Amino acid sequence: MKRVFVGCGVFILVVIAVATIGGSFYMLDFSLAPDPNRRDTAFCYSELYEKYPETRQWIDSLNRIDALRDTLLTMPSGERHHALYIRNGGNKTALILHGWRDCSIDFLFLARIYEKELGYDVVLPDLHAHGYSDGDRIQMGWLDRIDALHWLTVFKTDTMAVHGVSMGAATAMMLSAEAMPEGIKDIRFIEDCGYTSVWDEFAGELKNQFGLPEFPLMYTTSLLCKISSGWSFGEASAINQVRKCSYPMLFIHGDSDSFVPTEMVYRLYDAKPSKKKLWVTRGTKHAESYKDYRAEYVKQVKDFLIE
């Protein structure tokens, strides 16, 4: 009888281990696999014009004077990454960072603010494993911060702004603690609905979507990510980077955001030592502050960049 109990115990442990390993691979693929249609530019432009019809005429005008260009750059990792580059001709440049499974085209509505309203050159990279950039696993901003720093170095001007939304916002915050390229006299960061850390974001979604606790899947999946991609969920922390940031930062978040819970922005804001501003939009869901408050959004960005 004792052998039967031991055998059953071993069998149960094996089943749990197999289920955990299988669940870890599924969670990693669910979270970090690129959009299979990531290079469908026609669809991206179609969505952009549907959401923000004012961008169509502006983009047409840029194309007529060859001011909207595809740019390729070799990253420190050796990968080839793509960006859209808008040349305005001044000495101010904005780096705009897109969200999870988005691409540079999706955020041309923000580029319009910087080019048309503020006179900035604009660089819109496709982050690793997005759009036309190399990569087979999304990096959730952590290693992307190194690529973003390289874009800043190559396109540096006296005045620069880094503006990210969702995963792009987390990327901007993760970047903000790094030493900036020499020659930049003024750099400011705008984060719109970014998460505190990859661990916090994934743990929240694991509970919300699947009703599962952090243990054991978060731990095993994070370990698998470390082995396969070189980074863990715990180290990919925007809040830890923000604590070390000495540059001005504007925090934007919707108060009805359930995907990246609104409480995260208050923790991020409190963690920032100084030179900071917070704007929480009423009734706004995830990544929709501009859509809901267009005029005020532009004013908030303008005021932050010139103050």
pLDDT at position 155 is 97
The alpha-carbon radius of gyration of the chain (Å, integer) is 21
pLDDT at position 189 is 98
pLDDT at position 67 is 97
Whether 227 shows a pLDDT value over 80: the answer reads yes
Question: Which residue type sits at 227?
Answer: I
Q: What is the pLDDT of residues 231-271, one digit of tens each?
A: 999 999 999 999 999 999 999 999 999 999 999 999 999 99
- Say how many C-beta atoms besides its own lie within 10 A of residue 136's C-beta: 10
Question: Which residue type sits at 167?
Answer: M
* CA distances to 59, 167, 170, 209 from 138, in Å: 28, 10, 13, 20
Identify the H or E element spanning 232: none
Average pLDDT across the chain, whole number? 94
Whether 61 shows a pLDDT value over 80: the answer reads yes
- DSSP-based three-state secondary structure for 186: strand
pLDDT at position 23 is 86
